Amino acid sequence: MATILHITAHPHDHQTSYSMAVGKAFIDAYREANPNDEVIPIDLYKISIPHIDADVFSGWGKLRSGQEFTSLSKEEQAKVARLGELTDQFVAADKYVFVTPMWNFSFPPIMKAYIDSICMAGKTFKYTESGPVGLLPGKKALHIQSRGGVYSEGPAAAMEMGHRYIGIIMSFIGITDFQGLFIEGTNQFADRAQQIKEEAIAKAKDLAKSF
């Protein structure tokens, strides 16, 4: 039995958002193909994700200098503990589906906050003499994203920084099996947007059978 995290970074649901609709089609088909797997939905707009702020730095600093967790302030304890929970939940899973819309060539800022919560030295990567090493080999991830224009090929490809960035983070923590599924041109080809969405849903259902 595998555990798959369905991580969504969108303020809207599948009825309004192309990304969320394709993400839902994928996860529904995945559930059908893998009835014994555990699917954990993580709505980044609804859960608490501490930003790495002064409390987090001071809390981490105290722990590093050997102080007990209970000696941290209430704020430090809450934020450090919550970040640890998010990292542990990520480490315990086997597969990941990220769902984001393209916003300003990448993704919504809440996704960056989540990435900051899962890149933790000693848990998802470690430093060695020859550089950092990812600690999550053998896991796999998919990024589903809707975009107003086309970035998987053509002149705008170099401007795409969201999927590329998530891919770099995955590889940094040891997850090299990473792919993308894009709903592209929803604004550029507005008259065909519904068809573009339907094609992506068909691809998502197909991909879910072997993911």
Ligand X SMILES: Cc1cc2nc3c(=O)[nH]c(=O)nc-3n(C[C@H](O)[C@H](O)[C@H](O)COP(=O)(O)O)c2cc1C
Residues of the shown chain interacting with ligand X in the complex, contacts defined by CB under 6 A:
10, 17-20, 101-105, 146-149, 186-187
> Considering the complex, what minimum distance in angstroms separates the CB of residue 156 from ligand X?
7
> Considering the complex, what minimum distance in angstroms separates the CB of residue 158 from ligand X?
13
Closest alpha carbon to 20 in 30, 28, 12: 12
Please report how the helices 54-64 and 74-92 are oriented relative to each other, as an axis angle in degrees rounded to 10.
80
Residue 147 assigned as binding residue: yes
Residue 111 assigned as binding residue: no
* 57 neighbors 73 (Cβ within 8 angstroms): no
> Considering the complex, what minimum distance in angstroms separates the CB of residue 157 from ligand X?
12
Closest CB to ligand X among 23 and 59? 23
DSSP states of 138-189 as a string?
T-EEEEEEEESS--SSSTTGGG--HHHHHHHHHHHTT--EEEEEEEE-TTTT
> Considering the complex, what minimum distance in angstroms separates the CB of residue 195 from ligand X?
14
Closest CB to ligand X among 124 and 146? 146
* 50 neighbors 83 (Cβ within 8 angstroms): yes
Residue 146 assigned as binding residue: yes
- Give the residue numbers of the binding site: 17-19, 102-105, 146-149
Q: Which residue positions form the known binding site for FMN?
A: 17-19, 102-105, 146-149
